Chains A and B, each alone.
Chain A
Amino acid sequence: MRIDLEPRPARTLALDIGAPIVALVAAIIFGGIVIWLLGKSPTLAFEVYFINPLLEGWSLQELAVKACPLVLIAVGLSFCYRANLWNIGAEGQFITGGLLGGWLGILTHNEAYQGLIGGWWILPSMLVLGAIGGALYALIPALLRVWLGASEILTSLMLVYVAELGLDWLVRGPFKDPEGFNFPQSVVFDDIARLPFLAEGERLHAGVLLALIAALIAAFVFARSLFGFEVRLIGEAPRAARFAGFDDRKLTLTVFVISGALAGLAGICEVAGQIGQLTPKISPGYGFTAIIVAFLGRLSPVGILVAALVLALTYIGGEAAQVELSLPSDMTRAFQGILLMCVLVADIATRYRIRLRLGAAA
């Protein structure tokens, strides 16, 4: 058997929009087969995963809350991936952002340092610190790549493990709440150090607005600015970009800083929004899921907004499926892997006609 790829003469808008949808449907079918093989009802699972969360007010809010970090991280990653640079350590940058921002939240606990000027500066400073924390951490693999040619893929991933262990150490050590009965968690931040809630129920926090703004700015940068063009050119035609005088070392550092800062911002939004304190586990793998979001959204900010909602749905549906169908949370992960593969296949199908030739030699 042999697979032949024939280039399509032109890409059409219908293909571009249709491909991710077909991929999603295919992934749902494959996921259903896995669930059927596990001896559960695929139709019931579909209902629990994809229908029920859309029917209730609280779960719609939850959807936006879960999509928020995914949008922020994935928008950042789209800068890297468009430039053909592989930051896969967003999970680590998320954690260091949450840590650095959360540190200020701990310092200002119980109205400390609020003296004469009040506490209005705390939350903005936390957000800025969060972005800085993520950006600095992303700068490590970027600098190692620019200076020494070390693979950014491996270094950024290794740093995820280091960040997880660092967070674990801090919340069990220096950042631990002294009056917390020895639980591995920090103090709960003052209300003034937390993102305001947009609706009743204490779930939907203002970080969602930041995610929307980030996506809009990124859409503008990609569509209208020279920098956006430079990113794409370096990714698609590095030699041409060098002839045009673009500095690929500077660009490498810039896109890593952007993507790290957004991942760090996502981290502090999670810590200052939903959680309100530092705990040993502040992310259910947002940094990795965001990679899928970036590809499902075809590296376009608007696409990412939609894709993040889809992946957020799998988190919420996954939690419900654990309770209602006793499907382990690994199902969500397996589905996400299947979805990414389907998206990649669909993407290639927009550029080539795929022909199967049975009986031909490879």
Chain B
Amino acid sequence: MTSEMFQLILMTVVTAATPLILAAIGELVTERAGVLNLGVEGMMIMGAALGFAGAYASGSTTIGALCGIVAGTLMAALFGLLTIGLAINQVASGLALTIFGLGLSGLLGTGFVGLKRDAAPQLHIQGLSDLPYMGELVFGEDPFVYAAILLVAGTAWFLSRTRAGLALRATGDNHQSAHALGLPVRRTRFLATLFGGACAGLAGAYLTLAYTPFWSPGMTAGRGWIALALVVFASWRPWRIVLGALLFGGATVLQLHAQAASFGLPGQLLSAAPYLATIVALLFLSSGARRNAAAPAALGQPFIAPR
């Protein structure tokens, strides 16, 4: 295999990993604040549909990405209203959000099925991107990839180095104490949920604007759920999300190449690989005490202010 080909394969791994990184880093912040939003799939598919619609109508990838972010944020706001405002069970609300998002995105996207637009352009820096072996991999990705890395870096810094990040983690670990300290538990959780929605919307927009530059209903194909699993896999640490997402991206790309090479294995078995890999990954990292130490202690528990 030539180094050129190797670099191309690595680049497809990165593009397969990017939507997972984006969605998972948002969900990580949400969960660190103590909110389990199972609606990632629904927020993501809405981002994909409205991202494509916005980009198609305006002709601009940036506006498309913004539309995706707004769509995800609005969905998250609905979730926040239910679970934080009304203290409704988060698991059930998340499922409702996913079902609703899958349906509504199908309705809104009806007019856009079959349309195509150019994928988001890739960065090109004269000289650097042309470097052999690594040039394109490091300096020639599409802008979403760099945005994803910046988001992870920013989140890691925010959570571990800022006062607000500390308050957010306190809210997720023990909302009663946080409330007693005078921290605004519900406002913090609502904002964290909105951030998660914005990231999921952006992740969805990435699918229709860069990954496969067209819209089709249900195209997230479980990526939102895989992102949820990634947060567990990463033990709620930002940089481990990148590692996990690259592993998953690698599995996806490997699976595609295996299908093309047709080793005689049924294609369906290979298509099932990412889902099976998710289960295996969950097993490795959820066993025993380590997981319980890593998970935010108040994750999924509704908070009702004592009166």
Q: How far is the CA of A166 from the CA of B85 in the complex (A)?
A: 41
B105 contacts across to A, CB distance below 8 A: 330
Q: Are A345's CB and B102's CB within 8 A?
A: no
The reply to whether the CB of A305 lies closer than 8 angstroms to some CB of chain B is no
Question: For residue A155, which residue of chain B has the nearest CB?
Answer: B279
The reply to whether the CB of B286 lies closer than 8 angstroms to some CB of chain A is yes
Contact of A169 with B279 at beta-carbon distance under 8 Å, contacts A88-B95, A151-B286, A158-B222 already known: no
Query: Which of A147-195 touch B at CB < 8 Å?
Result: 148-151, 153-155, 157-159, 161-162, 165-166, 168-169, 173
Q: Are A159's CB and B82's CB within 8 A?
A: no
The reply to whether the CB of A38 lies closer than 8 angstroms to some CB of chain B is yes
Give which listed residue, A38, A153, A328, contacts B38 with CB less than 8 A.
A153
* A50, chain B: closest CB distance, angstroms: 17
* B92, chain A: closest CB distance, angstroms: 6
Query: Which of A99-156 touch B at CB < 8 Å?
Result: 144, 148-151, 153-155
Q: Are B268's CB and A168's CB within 8 A?
A: yes
Q: Are A148's CB and B272's CB within 8 A?
A: no
A337 contacts across to B, CB distance below 8 A: 42, 96-104
Of the 9-residue stretches A60-68, A261-269, A287-295, which lies at the interface with chain B?
A287-295
The reply to whether the CB of B186 lies closer than 8 angstroms to some CB of chain A is yes
Q: How far is the CA of A330 from the CA of B113 in the complex (A)?
A: 14
Contact of A5 with B86 at beta-carbon distance under 8 Å, contacts A162-B272, A362-B186, A362-B190 already known: yes
The reply to whether the CB of B288 lies closer than 8 angstroms to some CB of chain A is yes
B271 contacts across to A, CB distance below 8 A: 165
Contact with B along A344-362 (1 / 0, CB 8 A): 1101100010100000011
* A98, chain B: closest CB distance, angstroms: 16
Query: Which of A312-362 touch B at CB < 8 Å?
Result: 328-338, 340-341, 344-345, 347-348, 352, 354, 361-362
Q: Are A333's CB and B103's CB within 8 A?
A: yes
Contact of A334 with B104 at beta-carbon distance under 8 Å, contacts A157-B225, A344-B88 already known: yes
Contact with A along B68-100 (1 / 0, CB 8 A): 000000000010001001111101110111111
Q: How far is the CA of A210 from the CA of B181 in the complex (A)?
A: 56
Q: Are B228's CB and A154's CB within 8 A?
A: yes
Q: Are A341's CB and B82's CB within 8 A?
A: yes
Q: How far is the CA of A31 from the CA of B100 in the complex (A)?
A: 11
The reply to whether the CB of B9 lies closer than 8 angstroms to some CB of chain A is no
The reply to whether the CB of B232 lies closer than 8 angstroms to some CB of chain A is yes
A329 contacts across to B, CB distance below 8 A: 106
B38 contacts across to A, CB distance below 8 A: 153
Q: How far is the CA of A291 from the CA of B89 in the complex (A)?
A: 14
Q: How far is the CA of A361 from the CA of B85 in the complex (A)?
A: 13
Q: How far is the CA of A34 from the CA of B271 in the complex (A)?
A: 35
Question: For residue B187, which residue of chain A has the nearest CB?
Answer: A362
Q: How far is the CA of A150 from the CA of B284 in the complex (A)?
A: 9
Contact of A86 with B91 at beta-carbon distance under 8 Å, contacts A154-B282, A362-B190 already known: yes
A348 contacts across to B, CB distance below 8 A: 86-88
Q: Are B106's CB and A154's CB within 8 A?
A: no
The reply to whether the CB of B217 lies closer than 8 angstroms to some CB of chain A is yes
Q: How far is the CA of A330 from the CA of B97 in the complex (A)?
A: 14
B304 contacts across to A, CB distance below 8 A: 5
Q: How far is the CA of A158 from the CA of B221 in the complex (A)?
A: 11
Q: Are B272's CB and A161's CB within 8 A?
A: yes
The reply to whether the CB of B266 lies closer than 8 angstroms to some CB of chain A is yes
The reply to whether the CB of B107 lies closer than 8 angstroms to some CB of chain A is yes
The reply to whether the CB of A25 lies closer than 8 angstroms to some CB of chain B is no
Question: For residue B292, which residue of chain A has the nearest CB?
Answer: A149
The reply to whether the CB of A3 lies closer than 8 angstroms to some CB of chain B is yes
The reply to whether the CB of B122 lies closer than 8 angstroms to some CB of chain A is no
Query: Which of B180-208 touch A at CB < 8 Å?
Result: 184, 186-187, 190
* B101, chain A: closest CB distance, angstroms: 7
B8 contacts across to A, CB distance below 8 A: none
* B152, chain A: closest CB distance, angstroms: 22
Q: Are A149's CB and B287's CB within 8 A?
A: yes
B278 contacts across to A, CB distance below 8 A: 154, 158
The reply to whether the CB of B269 lies closer than 8 angstroms to some CB of chain A is yes
Q: Are B96's CB and A166's CB within 8 A?
A: no
Q: How far is the CA of A159 from the CA of B277 in the complex (A)?
A: 11
Query: Which of A196-214 touch B at CB < 8 Å?
Result: none
A3 contacts across to B, CB distance below 8 A: 85-86
Give which listed residue, A150, A292, A295, A335, contacts B282 with CB less than 8 A.
A150
Q: How far is the CA of A337 from the CA of B92 in the complex (A)?
A: 11
B91 contacts across to A, CB distance below 8 A: 86, 153
Question: For residue B267, which residue of chain A has the nearest CB?
Answer: A169
* A278, chain B: closest CB distance, angstroms: 14
Q: A144-B279, A154-B282, A166-B272 are in contact. List 12 more A-B contacts (CB 8 A).
A: A3-B86, A153-B91, A155-B282, A157-B222, A165-B268, A165-B269, A169-B269, A330-B102, A336-B103, A337-B102, A341-B93, A352-B87
Q: Enumerate 30 A-B pairs (CB-CB under 8 Å) in ascending A order.
A: A5-B86, A38-B107, A144-B279, A149-B292, A150-B287, A155-B282, A158-B225, A158-B229, A161-B272, A165-B272, A291-B95, A292-B96, A329-B106, A330-B102, A330-B105, A330-B110, A333-B102, A334-B100, A334-B104, A334-B107, A336-B103, A337-B97, A337-B102, A341-B96, A344-B89, A345-B88, A347-B88, A354-B86, A361-B184, A362-B184
